[in-house]
Amino acid sequence: MSNLVAQKTGLSVPNINTNDPVENEYYKILLADDEAEKDVIKWTDDTQTIAQGGEEAKLTLRSRIRKRLDGVRWLYQDFVERHPKHVNAHLAFGSFLNDTQDEEGAVAQWEEARKLAPTNAATWNNLANFYGHHGPVTNAFAYYAKAIELDPLESVYYHNLAVTVYLYRPDAREFYHLTEQQVFDKSLDLYRQAIKLAPDDFVLYSDYAESFYGTNPPRWLDGLHAWTEALRIAHDEDEREGVYIHLARINLKLGNFDAASERLEAVTNAAYETIKRKLTSNLKEAMSGAGTSSSALPSAAPTKSGSAGNP
């Protein structure tokens, strides 16, 4: 769940130009939060140094991170105590706490923000994220719906609800009084609404396209169309080759062997070597069973290295 639901708070570091000292102080805290996040990412990305230092280096890193984050936590805590009605501060503090694994503390801040500003859609979305992880999931359904009601032009709220309905289909059937197929249709419709609002969001479109694998039965033709659209908006070669893998898999399922072979031939990234070999083997077996020549099969070995996400 945590890897699928978009953990967006509806907040960003604003460009504040005001003489209000409270807002200026709040802005500086947001900047400090942002800088601390960058530092932690930089430190944890230095895997070679950490590995060479062994357990002592890991302990030192944990202490360093804790100290860096504790400083930001104190800034937020001090600010909300002095300005308890500052809605955005409660939202931002909650997001900080959530990112640092203090989920109970995050919920307390978001609930306070919801009490202060019940028409703020971000508060409902953030609380829905929590309930989607920890239950009851019916709260997540209701809270995402409330966020959409309050801000119907925010794509991520539709995306989050689509993912949650899809993942928790038995709960969704009971909550919405739908059949299994209707639950799938509801999730897919939510995805489409999200896409209308964010037509160039590749991650969103990939989530939507992957949903067709899980429908019962799988909707291969719909999936083929969705991945073809995802290919159109892919930003770089890594994303494109990930889509090629999906297109090869679906074309293989549909018996479009030439199309599957063509897509696999275009995959040269080492990150996809294992899955490419597996699909090539499956394609060869399928072609043999169908009495089709396998001479046009692609080479299973990629020719260049790189990094890519999990297709």
The domain ranges of the chain are 1-117, 199-311
Whole-number pLDDT of residue 64: 85
- CA quadruple 22, 25, 30, 31: dihedral sign: positive
Task: Work out the angle at residue 234's Cα, subtended by the Cα atoms of residues 162 and 168, and round it to the nearest 5 degrees.
Answer: 15
Which residue's structure tokens are 């289909």? 169
CB 189 within 8 A of CB 231: no
Provide CB contacts within 8 A for 261, sequence distance 6+. Answer: 248, 283, 296, 297, 298
Distance, in Å, from the CA atom of 209 to the CA atom of 212, rounded to the nearest integer, reads 6
Question: Percent of the chain scored above 70 by pLDDT?
Answer: 84
Provide CB contacts within 8 A for 288, sequence distance 6+. Answer: 294
CB 187 within 8 A of CB 166: yes
Residue 269 backbone dihedrals phi, psi, to 5 degrees: -80, 130
* Higher pLDDT among residues 197 and 36, named by residue: 197
Residue 187 pLDDT exceeds 80: yes
Please report, as a single letter, which amino acid is at residue 281.
S
Closest among 7, 6, 28 to 16, alpha carbons compared: 28
Q: What is the mean pLDDT of the chain?
A: 87
Cα Rg of the chain, angstroms: 23
pLDDT in tens, 14-31: 555 567 899 999 999 999
> Judging by beta carbons within 10 Å of its beta carbon (0-12, 13-18, 19+), is residue 234 exposed, middle or buried?
middle
Residue 298 pLDDT exceeds 80: no
Confidence band for 305, pLDDT divided at 50, 70 and 90: very low
Confidence band for 48, pLDDT divided at 50, 70 and 90: low
CB 107 within 8 A of CB 140: no
Whole-number pLDDT of residue 204: 95
Q: Give the residue-averaged pLDDT of 121-130.
A: 94
Residue 165 pLDDT exceeds 50: yes
pLDDT in tens, 216-233: 889 999 999 999 999 999
CA distances from 21 to 17, 29, 182, 235, 260 (A): 11, 12, 52, 41, 61
Whole-number pLDDT of residue 16: 58
Whole-number pLDDT of residue 17: 56
Give, as one character, the DSSP assignment of residue 298: P
Whole-number pLDDT of residue 11: 47
Distance, in Å, from the CA atom of 52 to the CA atom of 46, rounded to the nearest integer, reads 10
Whole-number pLDDT of residue 299: 53
Q: What is the CATH number that goes with domain 1-117?
A: 1.25.40
Distance, in Å, from the CA atom of 145 to the CA atom of 143, rounded to the nearest integer, reads 5
Task: Work out the angle at residue 201's Cα, subtended by the Cα atoms of residues 155 and 264, and round it to the nearest 5 degrees.
Answer: 145
Q: Which helix (H) or strand (E) holds 89?
A: helix 87-99
Residue 304 backbone dihedrals phi, psi, to 5 degrees: -145, 160
Q: Which pTM does this prediction carry?
A: 0.81
Return the number of other C-beta atoms located less than 10 Å from residue 282's C-beta.
15
Task: Identify whether 302 is preceded by a cis peptide bond (ω within 30 of 0).
Answer: no
